[in-house]
Chain A
Amino acid sequence: MNREEYLNAVAAELRGLTSYERAAVRRELEGHIEDHAEALRAHGYPEDEAEARAAERMGDPAETGRGIARLYHPAWLWAERVAGALIAVMALELFLGFGGLGGVAGSVYARFCKPDDAHVTALDERMEIGNDVVRLYGINRYSDGQEDGVELWLCAYDRVPTGVVAQNIWGWSAVTANGEERVRYADGGGWSNARVTYCHIKVPLEPGDKTVALRFERFGEAVERAVDLTEVLP
């Protein structure tokens, strides 16, 4: 029995293997036979005889084939196919959702950002509410002719950079001075997305106000923080 005949006899027993697996098994056996035949040729055996002896040393081809086929359980083939399909779907998800990584960068940036206006005093006051953190990162005085007050520069992000922030967090905020609610105007600002949100809040002040208090209240959680105004007041 030469090499080809041996390999064909083994292949006949490899039922249930995919064409890729059959080819791989064939290559593997072919390699073993070739290694052995090469050693025999080095010992002076003629080409044909070296190959025939090497094939013979591989054992009964039918038994070898059945033994190999037993190693290829169909359940693992299905597991491999399911996992392959999942990888394909996840790769598509990655492609479609790749832009979400920009939000993670935005969330990290919000932890260290400073006001981009020279007239704003940089602060770094953090309040934790639930999973989110509200950060007061700047404060400045404003005067629009009718009223004087302070403008608070705020951002909010999840404690974990990959987490999402409550989008309506500014809706549950209250700013008080001397116990009165004073928010006159609030708007966005900065680069808001699902993971970070920015807000500027204007608080009109009256003579004698030395602090304002930021309060967040939501579903049983309430957090309050007083902000000292001495640095920005004349």
Chain B
Amino acid sequence: MRNVKRLYTRRARALRRAAVALALLLFCNVVLHIGYLLPIQAIRLVEESEGVYEPTRAVMKQWRPNMMHLTDRLYLNEGEHSLSLGCTHLTPLGWDDSFVWPGDAFDGGDVQAGVVDMSRKGHERLLVFYGRVRGTEDVTLTANAVRRDWDDAAQTERIRVYGHGVGEEDCLVRGGYTYFIFVEPDPVMEKLQQFPTSYQLVVNRGEEHFSCDIERTASVLWG
């Protein structure tokens, strides 16, 4: 009696393997929280571990290769009560999180903004300005890094401000707000070889002109 071995078709084999792959993918995603196929999955995971419980939506996305990893992707996520900057990157094992920096966005103010500084060994220090400004037309923004030092000789505080205008390509107008993600090399570090002491956002909105200090700051060290 010959030994009968079932002859699987390509379709059957492909579907069987796909089912196994899907089961493994679900297990890795849901139980181990690794192997994400979408960047937003990695961002959502960190949002949850940062206490952003409400549903959020990605307002802006930007590829920013080589900030910390080759495939860095920035997300500006907005919820009813929160506004977060998230960063994720692609690895051979799927999308992995870098960080999420959440902040309150329900104070009703005209400006919600934050800064994340990124230091990577052997690379220039980067500043990531992000946030939203109420207003959609004629809004131009300047992101400043400020260095304040006490001048003993003059007995006055010496304030040096370095900044750049936020380009149109770094802004998005939607739903009554102008959103922005703006990445630049730290100008204070470049010019003075010192860290900034504070950050400002200068807003030109039609006839209005005002600046506000950015208090929501975070640091990311890498490498």
Residues B48 and A166 in contact, CB atoms below 8 Å apart: yes
Q: Is the interface of A mostly helix, strand, loop or mixed?
A: helix
| Most A C-beta atoms less than 10 A away, residue of B7, B50, B51, B80 | B51
Residues B53 and A129 in contact, CB atoms below 8 Å apart: yes
B174 at the interface (CB under 8 A from A): no
In the assembled complex, the Cα of A130 lies from the Cα of B106 at a distance in Å of 17
| Most B C-beta atoms less than 10 A away, residue of A34, A83, A167 | A83
Residues B106 and A80 in contact, CB atoms below 8 Å apart: no
Query: Which single member of B14, B50, B92 contacts A83 (CB below 8 Å)?
Result: B14
Query: Which single member of B14, B34, B53, B94 contacts A219 (CB below 8 Å)?
Result: B53
Write the residues of chain B forming the contact surface with A, with a CB cutoff of 8 angstroms: 2, 4-5, 7, 9-11, 13-14, 17-18, 20-21, 24-25, 27-28, 30-35, 45, 48-54, 79-82, 92-94, 102, 104, 106
Known: A94-B24, A194-B33. 5 other contacts (CB 8 A): A83-B21, A96-B34, A166-B50, A219-B81, A219-B82
| Most B C-beta atoms less than 10 A away, residue of A89, A91, A131 | A89
In the assembled complex, the Cα of A100 lies from the Cα of B13 at a distance in Å of 31
Q: How far is the CB of A77 from chain B (nearest CB, A)?
A: 6
Q: How far is the CB of B15 from chain A (nearest CB, A)?
A: 8
Interface residues on A, range: 35 or more
Q: How far is the CB of B9 from chain A (nearest CB, A)?
A: 6
A146 at the interface (CB under 8 A from B): no
Write the residues of chain A forming the contact surface with B, with a CB cutoff of 8 angstroms: 21, 24-25, 27-28, 31, 34-35, 71-73, 76-77, 79-80, 83-84, 86-87, 89-94, 96-98, 100-101, 104, 129-132, 158, 162-169, 172, 194, 218-221
| Most B C-beta atoms less than 10 A away, residue of A21, A97, A129, A158 | A97
In the assembled complex, the Cα of A227 lies from the Cα of B139 at a distance in Å of 50
Tell me whether A164 and B48 are in contact in the complex, defined as CB-CB below 8 angstroms, given that A89-B35, A131-B53 are known contacts: yes
| Most B C-beta atoms less than 10 A away, residue of A28, A72, A94 | A94
Residues B35 and A220 in contact, CB atoms below 8 Å apart: no
Query: Cβ of B106: which chain A residues have Cβ within 8 Å of it?
Result: 219-220
Tell me whether A79 and B18 are in contact in the complex, defined as CB-CB below 8 angstroms, given that A72-B9, A94-B28, A218-B53 are known contacts: yes
